[in-house]
Amino acid sequence: MKISALLTSAGINIGLCVLFLSLYSVLRKQPANVRVYFGRRIAEENERLRGAFILERFVPSTGWIVKALQCTEEEILAAAGLDAVVFNRILVFSIRIFSLAALLCVFGILPLNYFGKDIKHVRIPSESLDIFTIGNVEVKSRWLWVHCVALYIVCGVACILLYIEYKHIARLRLLHLTSATPNPSHFTILVRGIPKTAKESCSDVVDNFFTKYHSSSYLFHQVVYKVGKVQKIMTGAQKAYTKFKHFTDETVDQGCRTITYRCCLCGTSSNSFKLLNTECEQNRGKTGNESSLKLDDEECTAAFVFFKTRYAALVASEILQTSNPMKWVANLAPEPEDVYWSNLWLPYKQLWIRHIVTLIGSIVFMFVFVIPVTFIQGLSQLELLQQRLPFLRGILKKKYMTQLVTGYLPSVILQIFLYMVAPIMMRFSTVELPTSHSERKRSACCKVLYFTVWNIFFVNVLSGTILSQLNVLSSPKDIPIQLARAVPGQATFFITYVLTSGWASLSSELMQLFGLIWNFIRKYVLRMREDTEFVPSFPYHTEVPKVLLFGLLGFTCSVLAPLILPFLLVYFFLGYVVYRNQVRSLRM
C-alpha cells in the first residue's frame, strides 16, 4: 500500500467524522430528537428548545465537547455506575501509554525503519508503507537494540500504569460496596437445580432444606413459577392499559371527524374514541386486584431464598450445598429489574449441554468468517490478485481507483461484515441460560472480544502472509523466516482499519443512527406516543472489545510499524470525548 492510498483513506474518514460530528451537534438540538440523545435529561436542559424558531438549533457547535470534558468521574459514577467509570479508565490508560509509545517510536524507531536499508527513496506520497516498518531494517542491523529498548520501556511503563489503574478501580469498587444503600438483592440468593419429589411441593423442599442447614440465618423463600403464554398476554394488556389510561381524564369531542394517518392507509372514526371513553368510565373505580387473573401456575426448579444478613447470603452463595454439582446450585441473586426470567424456567441440567453447543457454534462461526476476511485481505494486495484475476487490470489502471480500493474499501467491507457479529453473539449468550441481563451482556462481550481478536488480528495476519508467500515457500523450515518478513507488512492494513472502524465508527456511534431512524419511524410513520420510561443502555458488548482490540494493535505494532500510533491516539482521544458524552447524555 502506498502513502497516497493511506492519505486517501484518512481524507475520506476525516470528512465523514466532521460531517457526523456537525450533524450530531445540530440534531441533538431538535425537540423531536431529545429522547434519542438525552434520555431522562429531556426536561432539564432542553425545555427552552421547545418554543419558537431558534437559529441556534441549526448551527453546529462544540458546546457538547466542553461539557463532556468537564464531566467529573463522580458524576459518571452517579449517572451510569461503576461500569462506565471502569470503561472510562480504559481509555485514560490507553491515552497515557500510547502517548509515551508515540513519542518513543515515532521519533526514535520510525527514522531507523525508514533508513534501515541503503536504497533510493522516492517522494513520500509514492513510498510504500512497508518502508516505515521494521521489515525495512537490514538483517543483523547494529540498530536493532533501539527497538528492543523501546519495547522494554513501553512494556514496563504499561505494567506500572496498569497497577495504578487497578488500584484506583479497586478503591472505587470498595467505596461503592461500602456506601451502597441496602438492597433486597444483597440478602437474596438464587437457587437452581432443586430436586423434585412426588410427596412434597418444590416450596416445601426448599423450606425444609434451608431450615435444616441454615436455620439461624434463613428468613423465607419465593419459588419461581412458570406461567407461560397467559402471563405474556397479561403483560401486554398491562402495557396497553398504561398507554391508554391518559384518556380517562380527557374530554372527548363528540363531533370529531375521522383521523387519517399521513401514510393514507388507515384511519379511525370518532365512534372508537367514544367507545374507549365509555369503557374507561366503567372501569374507573376498579383496582388491579379486581381484574387479576387466576393462573394455574407451574412450579419451576428455581427459587429466591432470603436471609437475615448479607454475610449469610454471601456464605450460602459460595459454599457447595451438596456433593452433586447439578443440585442446589446457589448464586447471589441479581437485582429484580436485571433478572432474565425466561431462563429461570428451564432445567439447570441443560446448562452444560447449552454451554457446549454455544461454544461449538461460536467456533464454527469464527472459522466461517475467515472466508470474507481472506477476501478482504486480498484487496489490499492487488498485485497478487491481478496475477490470478487478469480482468481486474483494466479496472485498476486509474490511480485514484487503486488508492480507493487498497486504502479504504477493505476496512469498509470488513466493518460491514462485523455488524452482524454482536447480535449473533448475543443470541449465543442467551442460549447459555444466563440468569440476568448483565450476565448475558458480559458473556456476549467476551465472545465478541475473542471473535474480534481472532478474525481481525490473527486471521488478517495469517491470510495476508499466505497470499504473499504462497509461491515462495519451498519447505516447512522456511515458514518462520517468511512469517518474520511478512507480518510487519500486515500492519499497513491495521492503520486503515483504525481509520474506518475507529474514527468513522465513533462518529456514527455518536449520532445514534439506528435510534434516530427508529425515532422518526415511530413518531411520523407509526404515530406512536413517546415512551417516557425508556432509558437506552450503553452497548458495552460491542464497544469494550473494540477498544481492547485497538489496544492490542497498539502494543503489537508500536515497534513493528510506529506509523499506526498517531492514528490510534486520535481514536482514543476522540473516544474519550464521545463515550463520556454518551454516558453523560443517555444515562443521566
Residue 334 and residue 370 in one domain? no
Query: What number is the average pLDDT over the span 38-53?
Result: 50
Q: Which of 15, 1, 129, 2 has the alpha carbon at shortest distance from 499?
A: 15
Burial class (CB in 10 A: 0-12, 13-18, 19+), 296: exposed
Do the Cβ atoms of 574 and 503 come closer than 8 Å?
A: yes
Burial class (CB in 10 A: 0-12, 13-18, 19+), 451: buried
Q: Which of 540, 574, 533, 573 has the alpha carbon at shortest distance from 81?
A: 540
CA 588 – CA 583 distance, rounded (Å): 8
Point out the domain boundary residue: 333, 348, 363: 348
Least confident segment among 67-71, 94-98, 241-245, 441-445: 241-245
In the chain, the amino acid numbered 530 is: E
Strand partners, 267: 260
Q: What percent of the chain has pLDDT over 70?
A: 71
How much of the chain is in helix, strand and coil states, percent to nearest 5? 70, 5, 25
pLDDT score of 280: 44
Residue 28 and residue 138 in one domain? yes
Domain annotation covers residue 287: no
Distances (CA, A) of 567 to 135, 203, 453: 20, 60, 19
264: left (phi over 0), alpha (psi -120 to 50) or beta: left
What contacts 248, CB < 8 A, 6 or more positions away? 277, 280, 281, 284
Q: How many whole angstroms from its chain centre is CA 12? A: 25
What contacts 4, CB < 8 A, 6 or more positions away? 125, 126, 399, 403, 407
Quick check: helix, strand or coil at residue 529? coil
pLDDT score of 17: 87
Q: Which of 411, 413, 418 has the alpha carbon at shortest distance from 503?
A: 411
Point out the domain boundary residue: 348, 379, 394: 348
pLDDT of 257 over the 70 cut: no
Quickly count helices (H) and strands (E) in the chain. Answer: 27, 6
Quick check: helix, strand or coil at residue 43? helix
Q: How many whole angstroms from its chain centre is CA 140? A: 44
**What confidence tier does 477 reach under pLDDT thresholds 50, 70, 90?**
low
Do the Cβ atoms of 421 and 448 come closer than 8 Å?
A: yes
Residue 573 and residue 439 in one domain? yes
Residue 201 and residue 107 in one domain? no
Residue 159 and residue 192 in one domain? no
The count of domains in the chain is 2
Identify the top-confidence range among 18-32, 99-113, 221-235, 468-482.
99-113
Residue 314 and residue 412 in one domain? no
Domain annotation covers residue 182: no
Residue 485 and residue 532 in one domain? yes
Domain annotation covers residue 472: yes
Domain annotation covers residue 494: yes
Side-chain-side CA neighbours of 512 within 13 Å: the count stands at 27
Domain annotation covers residue 61: yes
Query: What number is the average pLDDT over the span 43-68?
Result: 66
Quick check: helix, strand or coil at residue 116? coil
Residue 89 and residue 144 in one domain? yes
Q: Which of 466, 464, 468, 469 has the alpha carbon at shortest distance from 496?
A: 464
Cell of 154: 513501553
Residue 88 and residue 199 in one domain? no
39: left (phi over 0), alpha (psi -120 to 50) or beta: left
Q: How many whole angstroms from its chain centre is CA 336? A: 23
Query: What number is the average pLDDT over the span 438-464?
Result: 85
Domain annotation covers residue 566: yes
Cell of 390: 487478469
pLDDT of 424 over the 50 cut: yes
pLDDT of 443 over the 60 cut: yes
**What confidence tier does 486 reach under pLDDT thresholds 50, 70, 90?**
low
Domain annotation covers residue 559: yes
Identify the top-confidence range among 147-161, 235-249, 268-282.
147-161
Do the Cβ atoms of 439 and 343 come closer than 8 Å?
A: no
CA 391 – CA 38 distance, rounded (Å): 52
Look up the pTM and report it. Answer: 0.78
pLDDT of 395 over the 60 cut: no
DSSP states of 430-485? HHT--SBHHHHHHHHHHHHHHHHIIIIIIHHHHHHHHHHTTTT--SGGGHHHHHHH
Point out the domain boundary residue: 314, 333, 348: 348
**What confidence tier does 141 reach under pLDDT thresholds 50, 70, 90?**
confident
Name the phi and psi angles at 339, rounded to 5: -70, 135
Do the Cβ atoms of 169 and 147 come closer than 8 Å?
A: no
Query: Exposure string (b/e) for 211-240, b if CB count within 10 Å is 16 or more?
Result: eeebeebbeebebbbbbeeeeeeeeeeeee
Residue 471 and residue 521 in one domain? yes
**What confidence tier does 99 reach under pLDDT thresholds 50, 70, 90?**
very high
Identify the top-confidence range among 81-90, 286-295, 526-535.
81-90
Grid cell 457479529 in the structure block, residue: 421
Residue 418 and residue 305 in one domain? no
Do the Cβ atoms of 206 and 221 come closer than 8 Å?
A: yes
Burial class (CB in 10 A: 0-12, 13-18, 19+), 394: exposed
User: Could you read off the pLDDT of 515-548 as tens digits, one per residue?
Assistant: 788 777 877 777 776 655 555 678 888 889 999 9
pLDDT of 285 over the 50 cut: no
Grid cell 521489515 in the structure block, residue: 135
Residue 364 and residue 442 in one domain? yes
Domain of residue 375, residue span: 3-177+354-587
CA 169 – CA 171 distance, rounded (Å): 5
Do the Cβ atoms of 562 and 106 come closer than 8 Å?
A: yes
What contacts 588, CB < 8 A, 6 or more positions away? 39, 40, 41, 79, 80
SS (H, E, C) 230-265: HHHHHHHHHHHHHHHHHHHHCCCCCCCCCEECCCCC
Domain annotation covers residue 259: yes
* Strand-by-strand arrangement of the 298-307 sheet: 218-226, 298-307, 188-192, 329-332
SS (H, E, C) 266-304: CEECHHHHHHHHHHHHHCCCCCCCCCCCCCCCEEEEEEE
User: Could you read off the pLDDT of 542-571 as tens digits, one per residue?
Assistant: 889 999 999 999 998 888 889 889 999 999
